[in-house]
Structure 1
């Protein structure tokens, strides 16, 4: 199993700066998350053969090295950037105007480049192969064939761009393309410590042979009945995707 915690979760919306976005958006910043390290440290004893990566060890390269773990749990920032409609200004050619899309705009037309997760090195920004950003396109190339469950304990991990006939492009799709059987993802920015409590309860149920989807539903019902967590903000963001059954050896 791989458990990764980067001490960040919520995010600020970036400005629409095409030149600074691709792979290392200078206008996308993340605040500290004190609950993520506690989250994975609480889950780790429940599992066997755990590789725990926290803080500066939770790098992009470390994630790329995973090879079909049974469970992959990543607690960090997730982000999704809405479609950028701006193109380069019209260029005058003779007596005609022609709209030539900016090269960076063309790159961003792939929806898998507009969602991703932030890892060690994102703040401050690094250069080279370790920019601290792992896009959905990069995640789609991970080796997750045989991985039974991927949990993205982050904000905005389930949203993506919709193309007719293609479904939702985003981290969920990327994880499915990488080969994972099932995913737990979020639809909006989530509470740091509320998520920790939810995840611990979820793993207790999953490891007790409850179905992956049913375990999440029962966990959310339990949160609904817990003082301080009754509001859907704390638990309704997370949804299951993929194989709903219990995990089997």
Structure 2
């Protein structure tokens, strides 16, 4: 068992002991002190890959040193190599084949070399950049520290799903609330999320097999959305602590377990009336997204990373930030003027665009021999006319933007030709198919226009590890594709990993990702409306991006045919809401 896993399990044990403590009279601690201590223990229990990615990039940014950047990148590559070799060793030892002994010996030697070099790099970083190690191992924030980092119009919801129950905290600058949902342990939570996702994701064999979402097409809905379950989650997770959110319009959430695969926008704030399958009843339903502009974070400590370390101008740091542990060095600005938008998508594909949705088979199915994608299989994916319209609309809105459509939307353009423009872009958009992680080595990624022949430089598939190597200074990255939120899309899996984690590591402050296969037409409306609201928002609005997504969702819901949340709720804003 790794030290990280052991620490998380120990933290959960401490949390349960604190919250299950006896009467206050038998203890010296007050209820407020116990809940504050449990709030910190919960944070250790929910550390995630995406939070680690934010911590690492914020540390590199805060240090502002090219030498550190090179060491940090080498460290990431070594960690990836070590982990890959460990998986290969496990496979070779499990085979127990004498013929595999030479390969096993070579692989173990390579693993030992990687581990030795990683230890040397860690020692070098510790000696030359002591603050980096401190920043990349973020501590849990106290209740007071969290409150200081929240804006006057913001609140935070922390949800920890445990086997026996779910624990919930609600915080604003002025107030703290806590609740325990005894009837929503891990098993019950997973069952509830599965019921809701059954009507949101590719859940059946209707019209084309399990990879096709029947809800995205015309005709009767295959599975009505279970509003009673959605309301139950609201009453047990949000309502008990909602007094802390009074007067706030932006709600930031940190969730765990199965909830990482369910956008909180689909929770209903009133008991359902009318049939679940009736478009009129759905249109009249009050949703959580109506009450709050929503954003999510991979951890509470991400507030500090985003608002204290990933800020170039000291004047823009949150007033609640701790004093800098070392004097920050301003990061060198990318050459050239700031670019409003860089966008890529609508790749040249030959599949029929009829009833197109931005979702495709898993990455395993398009990876050819070795690590490269099969360009023939990529090219055969359905064309996306909605992506083309979406990008053309953005180009009209931002005439000076860099927009690559069709034959220009290549992996080579993203990684080489337009790399400088990407580093200067305020907003970045990828509008294409997204592929989920495969069961083996295949990574999640984004489909670009396939080349004639796959090469290491361009195989038509921008994988998560390749995206992580981009150098961004983007306020907002939009992954207008399917299944870009999680590594495997399964409830209870590692949330907000895969592509979201990669773009955080590349330097994004916030990433808009999707939780299931999305409608091409509805997504075009959502993205263009989101950017329209961004342009109309007043300068300095602390929740501008969360409110822009809220407006985009509202525009989709205005179409009666898109009243079902499968059309409007897939996208989540991860990171800084404004």
**Equivalent residue, structure 1, for 2:390:** 39
Closer, same or farther: CA 167–198 of 1 in aligned 2, 3 Å: closer
Distance in 1 between the 2:428 and 2:346 partners? Answer: 14
Which residue among 519, 532, 538 is the counterpart of 1:191?
519
**Equivalent residue, structure 1, for 2:551:** 218
Give me the CA root mean square deviation. 2.6
TM-score when normalising by structure 2: 0.35
Question: For each residue in 1:129-177, what CA deviation from the matched residue of structure 2 results, as whole angstroms up to 9, or x when unmatched?
Answer: 2210110100011010x21111111111112159x9x864211110000
The answer as to 2:430 corresponding to 1:74 is yes
CA contact (8 A) 1:12 1:30 kept: no
Distance in 1 between the 2:366 and 2:474 partners? Answer: 36
The answer as to 2:330 corresponding to 1:2 is no
Closer, same or farther: CA 23–202 of 1 in aligned 2, 3 Å: same
**Equivalent residue, structure 2, for 1:49:** 400
Distance in 1 between the 2:361 and 2:382 partners? Answer: 9
Distance in 1 between the 2:532 and 2:366 partners? Answer: 43
Distance in 1 between the 2:570 and 2:397 partners? Answer: 24
Closer, same or farther: CA 47–228 of 1 in aligned 2, 3 Å: same
Deviation for aligned residue 1:243? 0.7
Report matched runs for 1:1-249 at 5 Å: 1-7=341-347, 9-13=358-362, 20=369, 22-25=371-374, 30-47=381-398, 49-64=400-415, 65=419, 66-84=422-440, 108=441, 114-121=443-450, 126-144=454-472, 146-160=473-487, 168-209=496-537, 211-245=544-578
Q: Work out which of the two has the higher radius of gyration on C-alpha atoms and give 1 or 2.
A: 2
Greater strand fraction, Structure 1 or Structure 2: 1
CA contact (8 A) 2:436 2:483 kept: yes
SS across alignment from 1:228: helix
Closer, same or farther: CA 231–176 of 1 in aligned 2, 3 Å: same
Deviation for aligned residue 1:48? 5.0
SS across alignment from 2:536: coil
**Equivalent residue, structure 1, for 2:280:** none
Question: For each residue in 1:26-57, what CA deviation from the matched residue of structure 2 results, as whole angstroms up to 9, or x when unmatched?
Answer: 76652111111111111122225201111111
**Equivalent residue, structure 2, for 1:96:** none
Deviation for aligned residue 1:219? 2.2
Comparing 60-69 with 21-30, greater Cα deviation is found at: 21-30
Distance in 1 between the 2:433 and 2:484 partners? Answer: 9
Distance in 2 between the 1:38 and 1:17 partners? Answer: 26
CA contact (8 A) 1:15 1:27 kept: no
Structure 1 alignment gaps of length 5 or more = 85-107
Structure 2 alignment gaps of length 5 or more = 1-340, 350-357
Deviation for aligned residue 1:14? 6.2
Distance in 1 between the 2:471 and 2:564 partners? Answer: 37
CA contact (8 A) 1:155 1:189 kept: yes
Distance in 1 between the 2:486 and 2:527 partners? Answer: 20
Closer, same or farther: CA 27–69 of 1 in aligned 2, 3 Å: same
Distance in 2 between the 1:21 and 1:114 partners? Answer: 13
Deviation for aligned residue 1:221? 2.9
Question: For each residue in 1:161-206, what CA deviation from the matched residue of structure 2 results, as whole angstroms up to 9, or x when unmatched?
Answer: 59x9x86421111000000111111111111111111111111111
Distance in 2 between the 1:18 and 1:199 partners? Answer: 29
Distance in 1 between the 2:404 and 2:571 partners? Answer: 23
Comparing 48-57 with 69-78, greater Cα deviation is found at: 48-57
**Equivalent residue, structure 1, for 2:47:** none
**Equivalent residue, structure 1, for 2:127:** none
Highest relative contact order (Cα 8 Å, sep 6+), 1 or 2? 1
Deviation for aligned residue 1:20? 3.7
Greater helix fraction, Structure 1 or Structure 2: 2
